[in-house]
Chain A
Amino acid sequence: MNNSHPALPEFDYLTPTSLMEASQFLAGHPSDARAFMGGTDCFVRMRDGLLPMKTMVDVKPLDGMNEIRFDSAKGLTIGAAVPMNAVAKHPEIRKNYPLLAQAAETVASYQLRSRATICGNICNASPAGDTIGASLVMNGVLTVHGVGGFRQEPLSKFFLGPGKTVLIPGDIVTAINFPILPAKSAGKYRKLGRNTLSDLSIVGVTVFGFPDKDTASGFRFKLALASVAPVPFVPVKAEEILAGSTISAESIKSASEAAMDSVTPIDDIRGSARYRKLMVRNLVNDTVTEVWKQLIG
């Protein structure tokens, strides 16, 4: 039976003044303290009684959390506390990483995007996370501050299960970094929800493609699928097909079917496994075709 409460449970709100203070506090209270950004995921779970925390640690004002830096040689750095709306409308991001802006704009509503963050979306590690696919395919790397100081965590190895990541108590993500993208790349995030907009995804398909002289097809496609596995899923076989031979309607169809065959989604309240698999096939086909058309101009 549902046990949602009318109000948030009692907790203390902490505003540490440095990253080290924050990391040490979190490491010292591993089961009942949590860092938060927009709070749009954790406050809901706290009201539902699923996240009993004694202390909520607001890390948003700390060093580096609020900046967006783009350097045409080094790439893009987005501070972990930057809300999704700010990401989506930033001119350098719209110009150089349009897939990220587009994916961010599919999340929830404008109001929620005033608070929700990309890094928060990633750390929440829901397989439905809308910005996770874009972050993966563009080789995002997280800057993490822990009790041992700073380190980098590539997204490709970050997700362990629904809600589970490689982060340990004390870890705070301070930024996400993207390398400079290959020239002439194109990408699209196609999200299928129940409503036209705003819903959680039943299936989400991220496609990122670029010319690559090292593949047989002359192109490389990076794919990520949301809501079809315990973690954001990379359909490797499908990627291989798209790299392995000349791109055509048939090869795209074949890749789509390989993607469909490679996923083992569950039946849940949003959709059945059967429907999800078929939608993976249809939406991969559609989205790869769309990106492909953009690539060949």
Chain B
Amino acid sequence: MATKTSDNPIAPVGESVTRLDARAKVTGSATYADDFQFGPILLHARAVRSPHPMALIKKVDTSEAEAMPGVKGIVTGKDFDGMLGLYLTDRYILCRDRVRYVGDPVAVVAAETVEIAEEAVKKIKVEYEVLPPVLDPEEGIKPGATVVHPDLGNYAYPNFIFPEAGTNIANRFKVRKGDVDEGFKKCAAIVERKYKVPHIQHVPIEPHVSVAKWDEDGHITLWTSSQSPFAQRNLIAKALHVSQGSVEVIAPYVGGGFGAKAGVSMESLAVVVSSKTKGRPVKLVLTREEEFHAAFCRQGLVAHYKMGCDKDGNLIAVDNKYYWDAGAYTEYGVNITRASGYSSTGPYRVPNVRVDSVCVYTNHPVGGPMRGFGMPEIHVGLEQCVDDLAHEIGMDPYEFRKKNCVKDGDIIVTGMKMHPTGLSKCIDEVAKAIDWGKKEQPTGPNKRRGKGMAIMWKAPAMPPNPGSSAEVKFNEDGTVDVAIGGQELGQGTFTVMAQMVASALGIPYEWVRISTPIDTKFSPYEWQTVASRLTWSMGNAVRLAALDARKQIIDLVSKAWNEDPDNLDIRNGVVVSYKTEETLPLKDIVIYGIPKENYNGWMGGPVVGRGSFMPTYVTGLDKDTGQGERAVVHYTTGCQAVDLEVDLETGKLDIIKAVSAFDVGKAINPEMVKGQMEGGFVMGMSTGYFEAMRLKGGVMQNPSFVDYRIATSTDIPLKVESIIVEVAQDDGPWGARGIGEHSMVPTVPAIANAIYDAIKIRVGDPPFSAEKVYLAMMDAGIVK
């Protein structure tokens, strides 16, 4: 944790300090959820999971398993009638009368060893009555399809979600703006396309892990790899009909989340089985195979695009339909549908919009909040259609995007006014860095080379009132412990918060520690670590907490020195008077206060700074038109381009150079921001090259690394360039907004557009496997 202090009053905000958790991680001493030591008291759990995509449960017989030596507790759905759901409450903790996807949990066993638990699972007999599954969202909305949730009409949901009882439609977001039919009449070019984006998986390298303990006095403790300790506490408490105060979630470092560890998925399974083990903690770890098929996935999308522009390249009308293959439970996924609806045009100014974004129940794995939250999926088609429109009217796709991209003050798809954004600058920077317009020579006779670009936008997708809070407290030596409820997933949140506290307080970065693990009993509330919201939202809370502490200190010293507080400052951990040049180190006062003159009493005492932030300006959107004053808090925008080659012998793709530019408002830690751009690019590239959950009859055919391939060190481009653009966010700390998700949003269409530039054909839906590219070239006569 090397680093420097600076006389620059805003430092270390804006400096690329070394991460404060780096040393713990490189020495292997960082604690993750599977590393907690419990000793012999710990039990191990395994779940019984449905082998069918859709079936009624006729009977569950646990008697043989109960009799096994070493088995300490078994729970089934009949033991728990509460339901879980972040937005739409549609999921029992354990299936009660039916199963809805392959992997749906029916029972959980706790035993002395994981081997005994595994044996016990085999001995639990479940009788199913198999029903015809829904395996396609467009089929699922047709009359006569199996209704996956017959009780949809009874589920609780917030007022911005619109389930259609009696159907498989869990939510529908409509945009009706202007007049698309009239608009298309004015178009010189119209493209109509259909894209199917397959289900993919988050693939954090750390699997899900939860340890749950249910004490005899009713207190529940959950140690878990979690992005959402408070949301998990809330949802589990509600489902168990207990007070949130009696559930304590303890969340250490997370070995990768990407959304998989947000909301509640497997955590509740550990909790419920621990109800039977008389206070002994129970650990549940998902195997990698379960990670692939039984954890939150990214839902599939069937998207129909119809987009048109006039002869000058102005986008006139967009008429899109997004059918989300949202899986067996849509408690989280309903909001993906909504977010994709209110951002459905992509980052463009379009006067006429008709969009239906429909969340459809299917008997597929459960769609959850994967990085991008609907944006990568819809941009696959959006950005290819934009390129196609540009080609049709003979316009450079770069010019087309410059012309139509959202700018400050534009009215966007929901009627909201766009705030200042650096999107145009991102496009220009990327075009320059990739040498747009220059046709590069292929590196060999069997290669074709091309460049492609894509732009994006994304707003944090949240309820309208997600809160952050923070506390700053001091130690005797002036160092600070910052209590927050947001999680370090690798994205660098702890470091950035420490930088903000150091800057706002006026103390060295090395003096700041972040209190980890997050513990909902001691840590201040944070909605969730999702949506790329922490730098902005929790950053605001942390900054306010630091400023609150600073004010207490300044006020105290101004009283002690009888000076105007405006003449005082804290620099490098020392209170200074600009007037008298007197100094007072923080360590002398932040716990002990200041003695009055001649020690005739004392002033002050332990300083604790508090801060809280919640956006107050998000409005609702009309149910039928999707219009409203302020749909979202803000948008992060950006652009990516790739220079790649297609191998004519094999169809393989090789990216020679990749360029990203994103408007992050203010880069609190520039190298870490670039790290997000690089990592997101590679994750996006991986989904573009390799990734798909191959679902056949609802069963995932490739639930392991053997056949679910992700990018390795040998697949990445030779050169990558990451450019930071900063157009301040008006209510962001130092102007900052998020970047964590955005860097994987434009990647797949940028690759698709580059392929098109290289070989002049579209190769179909992602992933663009070598086989897909090669056979497309063969069918088009490019190779024989």
Report which A residues bind B (CB closer than 8 A).
1-2, 4-7, 9-10, 192, 194-200, 202, 269-272, 274-275, 278-279, 282-283, 286
| Cβ–Cβ contact B712 & A194, under 8 A | no
For residue A3, which residue of chain B has the nearest CB? B289
Q: Of A6, A192, A197, A272, which contacts B650 at CB under 8 A?
A: A192
Beyond A194-B709, A278-B778, 19 additional contacts (C-beta under 8 Å) are A1-B49, A1-B102, A4-B287, A4-B703, A5-B287, A6-B114, A7-B115, A195-B709, A195-B712, A195-B715, A196-B714, A196-B715, A198-B712, A198-B714, A202-B771, A269-B701, A269-B702, A272-B771, A272-B775
- Cα(A270)–Cα(B771), bound, Å: 9
Report which B residues bind A (CB closer than 8 A).
46, 49, 51, 102-103, 114-115, 118, 285, 287-289, 292-293, 649-650, 689-690, 694, 699-704, 706-707, 709, 711-712, 714-715, 769-771, 774-775, 778
- Cα(A4)–Cα(B704), bound, Å: 10
| Cβ–Cβ contact B690 & A195, under 8 A | yes
- Cα(A278)–Cα(B704), bound, Å: 27
24 A-B pairs whose Cβ atoms sit less than 8 Å apart in the complex: A1-B51, A1-B103, A1-B699, A2-B293, A2-B703, A2-B704, A4-B287, A4-B288, A5-B118, A5-B287, A6-B285, A7-B114, A7-B118, A195-B711, A196-B715, A197-B714, A198-B714, A199-B709, A269-B701, A269-B702, A269-B707, A271-B771, A275-B775, A283-B649
Q: Of B650, B689, B703, which contacts A282 at CB under 8 A?
A: B650
For residue B772, which residue of chain A has the nearest CB? A275
Q: Which A residues are in CB contact (< 8 Å) with B46? A: 6
For residue B50, which residue of chain A has the nearest CB? A1
Q: Which A residues are in CB contact (< 8 Å) with B771? A: 202, 271-272, 275
For residue A193, which residue of chain B has the nearest CB? B709
Q: Which A residues are in CB contact (< 8 Å) with B706? A: 200
Q: Which A residues are in CB contact (< 8 Å) with B289? A: 2, 4
- Cα(A274)–Cα(B772), bound, Å: 11
Q: Which B residues are in CB contact (< 8 Å) with A283? A: 649-650
CB distance from B200 to the nearest CB of A (A): 15
CB distance from A262 to the nearest CB of B (A): 19
- Cα(A10)–Cα(B118), bound, Å: 12
Q: Which A residues are in CB contact (< 8 Å) with B690? A: 194-195
| Cβ–Cβ contact B694 & A269, under 8 A | yes
| Cβ–Cβ contact B770 & A6, under 8 A | no
| Cβ–Cβ contact B649 & A270, under 8 A | no
User: Interface centre among B103, B701, B712, by most A CB within 10 Å?
Assistant: B712
- Using A269-B694, A278-B774 as known contacts, say yes or no to A2 and B118 having CB atoms under 8 A apart: no
CB distance from A16 to the nearest CB of B (A): 26
- Cα(A279)–Cα(B770), bound, Å: 11
User: Interface centre among B292, B706, B771, by most A CB within 10 Å?
Assistant: B771
| Cβ–Cβ contact B649 & A275, under 8 A | no
For residue B654, which residue of chain A has the nearest CB? A196
- Cα(A252)–Cα(B435), bound, Å: 40
- Cα(A271)–Cα(B690), bound, Å: 12
CB distance from B128 to the nearest CB of A (A): 12
- Cα(A36)–Cα(B287), bound, Å: 24
Q: Of A6, A194, A202, which contacts B118 at CB under 8 A?
A: A6
CB distance from A110 to the nearest CB of B (A): 11
For residue B690, which residue of chain A has the nearest CB? A194
- Cα(A201)–Cα(B341), bound, Å: 41
Closest 7 pairs between A and B when the two form their complex, measured CB to CB: A196-B714, A4-B289, A275-B771, A1-B51, A197-B714, A2-B289, A282-B649
Q: Which A residues are in CB contact (< 8 Å) with B118? A: 5-7
- Cα(A199)–Cα(B715), bound, Å: 12
- Cα(A195)–Cα(B714), bound, Å: 8
For residue A271, which residue of chain B has the nearest CB? B771
- Cα(A198)–Cα(B700), bound, Å: 23
- Cα(A198)–Cα(B706), bound, Å: 10
- Cα(A270)–Cα(B712), bound, Å: 17
| Cβ–Cβ contact A196 & B712, under 8 A | yes
User: Interface centre among A9, A195, A271, by most B CB within 10 Å?
Assistant: A195
| Cβ–Cβ contact A274 & B712, under 8 A | no
Q: Which A residues are in CB contact (< 8 Å) with B293? A: 1-2
Q: Which A residues are in CB contact (< 8 Å) with B285? A: 6
- Cα(A140)–Cα(B752), bound, Å: 46
- Cα(A198)–Cα(B699), bound, Å: 26
Q: Which A residues are in CB contact (< 8 Å) with B778? A: 278
Q: Of A10, A270, A275, which contacts B707 at CB under 8 A?
A: A270
| Cβ–Cβ contact A286 & B649, under 8 A | yes
| Cβ–Cβ contact B704 & A197, under 8 A | no
Q: Which B residues are in CB contact (< 8 Å) with A270? A: 707
